[in-house]
Chains A and B, each alone.
Chain A
Amino acid sequence: MRISTFFYTLQQGVRNIFRNKLFSLASIATITSCLFLFGMFYAIVVNLQHIVKTAEEGVSVTVFYNEGTTQERIDEIGEQIAKRTEVSEIKFVSAEEAWDEFKQDYLGEEYADGFTENPLANSMHHEIYLSDVSLQNELVVYIQSIPEVRKINRSEITASTLTGVNSLIAYISVGIIAVLFAVSIFLISNTVTIGISVRKDEIEIMKYIGATDFFVRCPYVIEGILIGAIGAAIPLVIIYFIYNTAITYITGRFSVLSELLQFLPVQTIYQNLVPITFAVGIGIGFLGSFVTVRRHLRV
């Protein structure tokens, strides 16, 4: 391909957008609305997952040991537990550390001075944080089988609730993505059908004059890619402002819940959302124009 032909093709691709303004607007609007819905949904799901994950990270199982269990044996048990896949982190708390923490949290130094011995002498324990809260039961069953274990504290309600929320998010995600996908296909196929009627004569003329399939297709594909890119950029800009406004509003309005509602910054969300949205937008534009033109190339 000559350089001048390459630039001509590129120029025609850009000009095509303005030649068929209505069609270009309809295509951009279709892609924008689909990707806007996708982007909003993505931002919500990612935040929900983040909130659930933050909550999960706080869920722990506490393991107390029988009186007289040696420190070596406790360490050995700790190492065995740490090796399990359900465990993300394990922390040993000695009796002294437990008493210091208790004094600090509940008594204060003046009252604590009355105790000559550590009243929590038998309270050395392991705090275990889970990699996946749904696996809490399995871990507890395993720990219960260790003879030196005296008592296990666990948060069953929190774990099961979080597991439920996680499953719910997964189901809703699949459902909404399926609906969005179906709507997108419908809207895009409609837009492509309009495109076909607009393009039919033009492509026929080019073919009669002796244009190769490549020469005919190129400007339309460039046009499709540009429309896809514009259709991806617009919702990204809109979502950026909506997201920041919404976060500022929610955190201001529901400050009580600020511990629970930990939103991700927009930059974190856009790390994945920008490439995905552009890939989908450009992909739709490319495929749409490719299919539209192909139908008329057999002249």
Chain B
Amino acid sequence: MPITKKKKKKLAIGDDEVIVLDNVCKSYETGAPALNGVSLRIKRGEFVFIIGGSGSGKSTLIKLLLRELIPTSGAINVLGYDLTRIRHGKIPQFRRKLGIVFQDFRLLPDRNVYENVAFAQRIVQRPRREIRKNVPAILSQVGLAGKYKSKIKRLSGGEQQRVAIARALINRPDILLADEPTGNLDPKNSEEIMALLEKVNEGGTTVIVVTHNGEIVNKMKKRVVALNKGVIISDEEEGEYVNAD
């Protein structure tokens, strides 16, 4: 009997779609699947909240989108990169098209504000002249123009998150992924950060925010994808979602 190689079905991606997940499952060695049959399509320029309680699969989804994890089954395409097949050497190139903001900021603590932001430009080998021009510009955009020399440890939580956003934006990413960006911030700072993200989105960048902060989600009136036990339980269009809490 001749052996026929099973060909993987090519994922259909619309022209304006930047993220496509098709029936994605992710299981860890122990326990129930973290994601189970997740299908999701996000268009260029959208602002999407991904919400869910702990253990809902939010973090796994972010890790899959960053290509930190590979799905057990299903297909993921982000900005034209097939993340199930991408070579290790191509991952940096892919990640440079994303901007990433974490709950714990993930800044380099022993460098100052300028160095933290400039670092992202050095990685993509921008000339020094350009870095000197771009960093102050982006810092003033996030409201930190006067603090470029400050040590990270001396900044407030809100300021640190602004540095992280500046770092994420400086290479003009197509998508900004924010994992619980207000998780460590007080309500005032949270609002300011969300306003900043909204402004970024208005500039044309696709913004995806993972959060469990229902109040912010309600106020922003954006598209909301809700996860529970690894399954999408609702996907509400802009303004349709109302938090029951």
Q: Give me the interface of A with B, judged by CB distance under 8 Å.
A: 1-2, 4-5, 8, 19, 201-202, 204-213, 215, 298-299
In the bound complex, CA of A215 to CA of B122 (Å): 10
* Cβ-closest chain B residue relative to A7: B128
Are B110 and A19 in contact, CB atoms less than 8 angstroms apart?
yes
Name the A residues within 8 Å of B94 (CB-CB). Answer: 210
Q: Are B110 and A206 closer than 8 Å at their CB atoms?
A: no
Bound complex: CA of A106 vs CA of B228, how far in Å? 110
Complex CA–CA separation, A212 to B167 (angstroms): 17
Complex-state Cα separation, A5 to B125, whole angstroms: 7
Nearest Cβ on chain A to B75's Cβ, whole angstroms: 22
Distance (Å) between the CB of B127 and the closest chain A CB?
Answer: 7
CB distance from B201 to the nearest CB of A (A): 21
Given contacts A208-B106, A212-B92, A213-B92, 12 further A-B contacts (CB under 8 A): A1-B125, A2-B125, A201-B106, A205-B106, A209-B100, A209-B123, A210-B92, A210-B98, A210-B120, A211-B123, A215-B123, A299-B68
In the complex, which residues 81-119 of chain B have their Cβ closer than 8 Å to any Cβ of chain A?
Answer: 88-89, 92-96, 98, 100, 106-108, 110, 119
Residue numbers of B with Cβ under 8 A of A are 66, 68, 88-89, 92-96, 98, 100, 106-108, 110, 119-120, 122-125, 127-128, 167, 171
Query: Are the CB atoms of B127 and A209 closer together than 8 Å?
Result: no
Are the CB atoms of A209 and B95 closer together than 8 Å? yes
Which A residues lie within 8 Å of B96 (CB)?
A: 209-210
- Residues from chain B with a CB closer than 8 A to the CB of A201 are 106
Known: A19-B110, A202-B108, A205-B108. A210 touches B127 (CB 8 A): no
Which chain B residues border A211 with CB–CB below 8 Å?
A: 92, 123
Give the 8 A-B CB pairs with smallest separation, nearest first. Answer: A210-B96, A210-B95, A211-B123, A210-B92, A212-B92, A19-B110, A205-B106, A4-B128
18 CB < 8 A contacts A-B: A4-B127, A4-B128, A5-B125, A8-B122, A19-B110, A202-B108, A204-B106, A205-B108, A207-B92, A208-B66, A208-B95, A208-B106, A209-B119, A209-B167, A210-B98, A211-B92, A298-B88, A299-B68
SS of A interface (majority): helix
Q: Which residues of B contact A299 (CB under 8 A)?
A: 68
Residues on A with beta carbons closer than 8 Å to the beta carbon of B107 = 205
Complex: how many Å from CA A57 to CA B95?
Answer: 70
A204 to B106, CA, bound (A): 9
**Is there contact, CB below 8 Å, between A208 and B100?**
yes
A16–chain B nearest beta-carbon distance, Å: 9
CA distance A204 to B128 in the complex (A): 24
Chain A residues with CB below 8 A from B167, complex form: 209
Chain B, residue nearest A9 (CB): B122
**B93 contact from A209, A210, A213, Cβ within 8 A:** A210
* Min distance, Cβ B224 to any Cβ of chain A, angstroms: 25
Cα A299 to Cα B68 in complex, Å, equals 6
- What is the distance, in angstroms, from B112's C-beta to the closest C-beta of chain A? 12
In the bound complex, residues from chain B placing their C-beta under 8 Å from that of A204 are 106
Q: Tell me the bound Cα distance from A211 to B119 in angstroms.
A: 10
A208–B119 CA distance with the chains assembled, in angstroms? 12
A2 near B92 with CB under 8 A, answer no
State A211–B120 Cα separation when bound (angstroms). 8
User: Given the complex, which residues of A lie within 8 Å of B123, measured CB to CB?
Assistant: 206, 209-212, 215
